[in-house]
């Protein structure tokens, strides 16, 4: 691209700043497959270490987790250095991709200089998003411990801080810890993408979901204090089979094993079914035959996958629903705000002394009324099916609602997940150059054409318009319905249907990436074909 065109982007004015931000350098030559695997393992171990380092000075007993419903997607851990998870990175990345796809920023990502400016600006935006997400949480819901505040009180801090300002200092130090943890995640993602295999963000999501599924399946610790029943699906099943009288196994025992939270067997079967369905649909595609216009005999195929829009639409829907819950919780926590403060129409939440909260059946961030309730996640059969068949035992799961309200909640949630996924699938395809016109231009620029048709982008576009819009709608509806169905059945470890969808897709992509790396290691000539070094 000529220099005159590059100057049109105002983002070049940020280059002196973005070039000074800490970054991971690219390898100068080819990185061996074994070295890449070692880097992936080391980063994965470091990620799990960071999820177990809790924020210093935080009062863990009063933490309200805004992102509890998004933990599987954000790959974080409540109250740890990974409290924000990959949220700032994903948010910054989505904003930059949407701006680039909608041509709001004038950058050509095929040009090295423009690509460098794009990546630097994205890094700066990630830093901004860290503070945007950290500051409201710390000054509203991550409370410092009283001892930590007391130790920081007084004028002894450099003589610059006013007396009795320990609370502000404690909150500031917690924000700094969250920034360090989040920026470390960003650098770890760069290490995986440059020195390892695949994407660090995808690796962290899959690792977090896999951890939830593993603990939900095999955890032998009791789910509640004073109880002897293990929380994991398999240990709980073994416990009931060993301790229930023979006459009860066929009646109440089967109900407790198959349906009773936490981690019933039906949730384990549902999780396994999602794995199989996603693995099958990932390989389902329509392949358009292509031939090179000049090189006779050179043929290929352009695959249009059934999961054409991938899992992005359901992620965006889940993020929107989480924001609805987050803002309604914020309104509920501030009754002094006029009109919106503690207004039950927006959403009502239980207090810390609520029996359902004390028993562990719901969290303080679980809406129990208002719009937030109808837009909240379904957490397994206990939220809607069990109270219908056995109201005396499972009536508490209705949270004081009539069953028609529970049924309306179910319908609204499924409709929002399916309809929202279709809408976001169309939006994502339009803004990421995956529509018929852009794909036709890419195929035409590579010198390929459909056999039997004249080499014309307009003809190629009309052929693609028969498939891509339809597959986009089917893809969005399918992932939305699959995520909603998984939430209705339940998933072990509360990984959520969206989390399991992401984990399966990421594992399949990682498997394919490892296969390509091994092929390039065996046949170095293929590196240039795959874009390797």
C-alpha span between 415 and 431 (Å, rounded): 24
Tens-place pLDDT, residues 404-455:
898 999 999 999 999 999 998 988 887 777 888 888 888 877 777 777 676 6
Mind listing the pLDDT tens digit for each residue in 149-193? 888 776 544 555 555 577 888 889 999 999 999 999 999 999 998
Closest CA to 430 of 366, 385, 476: 476
- Does residue 361 share a domain with residue 277? yes
Instruction: Clarify whether residues 50 and 87 are in a common domain.
Output: yes
What the block records as the tokens of 133 is 């997400």
Task: Give pLDDT, residue 349.
Answer: 87
| CB burial of residue 452 (10 Å; 0-12, 13-18, 19+) | exposed
456 vs 283, higher pLDDT: 283
CATH code for the domain of 491: 1.10.3370.10
Helix, strand, coil distribution of the chain in percent, nearest 5: 60, 5, 35
Residues 319 and 436 in one domain: yes
Q: Is 300 helix (H, G, I), strand (E, B) or coil?
A: strand
482-506 per-position pLDDT tens digit: 999 989 988 898 888 888 888 888 8
Q: What is the pLDDT of residue 54?
A: 92
User: How high is the mean pLDDT of the chain?
Assistant: 82
- SS3 letters across 184-222: HHHHHHHHHHHHCCCCHHHHHHHHHHHHHHHHHHHCCCE
pLDDT confidence of residue 529: 47
Pick the range with the lowest mean pLDDT from 1-10, 58-67, 96-105, 483-492.
1-10
Let me know whether 332 and 255 are in one domain.
no
My answer on whether 518 and 406 are in the same domain is: yes
Answer with the one of 214, 238, 271 that is the final residue of a domain.
214
Q: Which domain, by its residues, includes 235?
A: 230-262
d(CA 384, CA 493): 19
**443, 303 contact by CB (below 8 A):** no
**CA atoms of 532 and 520, how far apart (whole Å):** 8
**Per-residue pLDDT band at 4 (split at 50, 70, 90):** very low
Which is more confidently placed, 260 or 197?
Answer: 197
Band of the pLDDT at 6, cuts 50, 70, 90?
very low
466 located within any domain:
yes
- Residue 283 located in a structural domain: yes
pLDDT at 160: 52
Tell me how far apart the alpha carbons of residues 338 and 389 are, in angstroms, rounded to a whole number.
42
In a domain, 13, yes or no: no
Query: What pLDDT shows up at residue 327?
Result: 82
Domain shared by 356 and 487, yes or no = yes
Q: Cis (ω within 30 of 0) for the bond into 262?
A: yes
Q: Domain for residue 85, yes or no? A: yes
- Bridge partners of 369, per DSSP, are 348
């Amino acid at each position: 691209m000529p220099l005159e065109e590059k100057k049109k982007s105002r983002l070049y004015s940020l280059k002196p700043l973005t070039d000074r931000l800490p970054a991971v350098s690219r390898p100068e030559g080819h990185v061996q497959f074994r070295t890449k695997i070692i880097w992936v393992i080391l980063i994965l171990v470091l990620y799990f270490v960071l999820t177990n380092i809790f924020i210093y000075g935080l009062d863990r007993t009063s933490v309200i987790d805004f992102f509890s419903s998004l933990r599987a997607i954000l790959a974080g851990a409540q109250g740890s250095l990974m409290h924000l998870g990959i949220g700032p990175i994903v948010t910054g990345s989505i904003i930059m991709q949407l701006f680039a796809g909608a041509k709001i920023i004038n950058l050509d990502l095929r040009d090295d200089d423009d690509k460098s400016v794009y990546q630097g600006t994205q890094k700066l935006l990630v830093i901004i998003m860290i503070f945007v997400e950290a500051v409201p949480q710390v000054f509203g819901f991550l409370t410092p411990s009283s001892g930590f505040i007391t130790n920081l009180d007084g004028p002894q801090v450099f003589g610059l801080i006013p007396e009795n300002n320990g609370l502000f200092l404690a909150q500031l130090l917690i924000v700094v810890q969250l920034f360090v943890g989040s920026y470390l995640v960003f650098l770890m993602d760069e290490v995986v993408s440059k020195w390892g295999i695949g994407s660090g963000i995808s690796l962290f999501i899959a690792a977090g979901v896999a951890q939830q599924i593993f603990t939900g399946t095999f955890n032998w610790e009791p789910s509640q204090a004073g109880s002897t029943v293990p929380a994991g699906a398999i240990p709980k099943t073994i416990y009931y089979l060993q301790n229930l009288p023979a006459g009860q196994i066929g009646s109440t025992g089967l109900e407790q094993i198959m349906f009773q939270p936490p981690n019933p067997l039906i949730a384990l079967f549902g999780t396994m079914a999602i794995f199989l369905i996603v693995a099958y649909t990932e390989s389902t595609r329509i392949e358009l035959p292509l031939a090179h216009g000049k090189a006779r005999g050179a043929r290929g195929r352009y695959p249009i996958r059934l999961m054409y829009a991938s899992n992005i639409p359901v992620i965006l829907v889940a993020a929107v629903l989480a924001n609805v819950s987050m803002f309604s919780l914020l309104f509920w926590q501030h009754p002094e705000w006029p009109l919106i403060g503690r207004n039950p129409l927006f959403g009502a939440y239980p207090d810390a002394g609520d029996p359902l909260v004390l028993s562990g059946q719901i969290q303080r961030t679980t809406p129990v009324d208002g719009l937030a309730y109808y837009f909240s996640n379904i957490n397994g059969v206990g939220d809607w099916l069990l109270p219908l068949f056995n109201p005396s035992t499972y009536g508490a799961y209705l949270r004081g609602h009539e069953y028609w309200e529970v049924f309306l909640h179910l319908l609204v949630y499924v409709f929002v997940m399916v309809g929202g996924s279709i809408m976001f699938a169309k939006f994502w395809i339009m803004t990421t150059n995956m529509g018929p016109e852009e794909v036709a231009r890419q195929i035409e620029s590579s010198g390929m054409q459909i056999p039997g048709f004249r080499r014309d982008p307009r003809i190629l576009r009309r052929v693609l318009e028969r498939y891509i819009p339809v597959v986009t709608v089917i893809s969005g509806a399918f992932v939305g319905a699959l995520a909603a169905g998984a939430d209705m059945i339940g998933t072990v470890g509360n990984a959520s249907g969206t989390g399991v969808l992401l984990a399966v897709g990421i594992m399949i992509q990682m498997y394919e990436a490892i296969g390509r790396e091994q092929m390039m290691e065996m046949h170095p000539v293929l590196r240039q074909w795959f874009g390797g070094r």
